[in-house]
Amino acid sequence: MSEAPHIPVLLDEVEAALLPLEGQVVVDATFGAGGYTRRLLDAGATVHAFDRDPDAIAAVHANPERWPELSSVPPRLVLHPRRFSEMVDALHDAGIETVDGIVADIGVSSMQLDQAERGFAFASDGPLDMRMSQDGYSAADFVNEGEESAIADVLYLYGEERQSRRVARAIVAARPITTTGELARVIRKALGHRPGAPKDPATRSFQAIRIHVNGELDELEAALAAAEALLREGGRLAVVTFHSLEDRIVKRFLKEASGRARSPSRHLPLVD
């Protein structure tokens, strides 16, 4: 992981929303480089931090001077190298039934994007990977082994790519594809990319494949349910979303959890 300082988005706003106090227990569901956690610790809270990326956890142990709370007695920083959807079980194992606050910054981190070898982005050519946990099913597996129709569905659902069938057809025709640069070139060619255009047309497909490989939207829904189960009465939840797919899931959850979702009949679906 890069040693350059990483400032998470909306840091002040998240702190204001959570209002962390000394002695409280707060969950940082997406530890990353620890920006939220550092602010929460400085406010006196005890933090249980989750990250499924082993690099994020390893970076803490490699720089113990930055995280003295990890070795304090009792520790005020507890690391959980797990998916945030597993936070209920993880905290129960630690003897914690409820928490005062939870923060989650959804999606890929800038540190992951900046490392070409992780294969999340096409700015620098690298292996077609995209796995946050660095194990299991990869982007290369999906691109090279997936059915054309399945690839098209993923690009449409998670990337909102209107020409998903054309892109999927081009991907299948170009297989095997092993690097991010190769995949980006195939997508650009399929969509008739014009150099200098304000947005690279490969962006939507890369987002879609990454979301699919990591099961990000299912993880988000599970994490929100876990947060509802863990937060004590009066507890606070702050979720930072990056795009509309995440945003809709969080807004729907908040409506339903707060009882504000409209449903004129229990036999009819909820209306957003």
Kindly write down the DSSP assignment for every residue of the chain, as one continuous string: ---S----TTHHHHHHHH---TT-EEEES--TTSHHHHHHHHTT-EEEEE-S-HHHHHHHHH-GGG-GGGSSSS-SEEEE-S-GGGHHHHHHHTT---EEEEEEE-S--HHHHH-GGG-S-SSS--BS---SSSSSS-HHHHHHHS-HHHHHHHHHHHH--TTHHHHHHHHHHH----BHHHHHHHHHHHHT--TT-SS-THHHHHHHHHHHHHTHHHHHHHHHHHHHHHEEEEEEEEEE--SHHHHHHHHHHHHHHHT--B-SSTTS--B-
Q: What angle do CA 95, 101, 103 make, to 5 degrees?
A: 110
Q: Residue 196's pLDDT is what?
A: 72
Please say if the pLDDT value at position 140 is more than 80: yes
Identity at 31, one-letter amino acid code = F
| Range name among 21-30, 164-173, 236-245, 256-265 with the lowest pLDDT average | 256-265
Please say if the pLDDT value at position 3 is more than 50: no
pLDDT averaged over every residue in the chain = 91
Q: Residue 267's pLDDT is what?
A: 47
| Range name among 41-55, 140-154, 171-185, 192-206 with the lowest pLDDT average | 192-206
Query: Averaged over 78-90, what is the pLDDT?
Result: 97
**From CA 76, how far away is CA 41, in angstroms rounded?**
7
Please say if the pLDDT value at position 172 is more than 50: yes
pLDDT in tens, 178-220: 999 999 999 999 999 777 777 899 999 999 999 999 999 999 9
- Percentage of the chain exceeding pLDDT 90: 81
Q: Residue 270's pLDDT is what?
A: 54
Pick the more confident residue, 77 or 107.
77
Query: Which is nearest to 211 in space by CA: 153, 148, 124?
Result: 153
Q: In which band, very low, low, confident or very high, does the pLDDT at 109 lie, cut at 50, 70 and 90? A: confident
Please say if the pLDDT value at position 5 is more than 80: no
Q: Residue 260's pLDDT is what?
A: 75
Q: In which band, very low, low, confident or very high, does the pLDDT at 1 lie, cut at 50, 70 and 90? A: very low
First to last CA, the chain: 40
pLDDT in tens, 233-269: 999 999 999 999 999 999 999 999 888 766 554 445 5
Please say if the pLDDT value at position 272 is more than 60: no
Q: Is the dihedral of CA 122, 127, 132, 136 positive or negative?
A: positive
Query: Averaged over 34-40, what is the pLDDT?
Result: 96
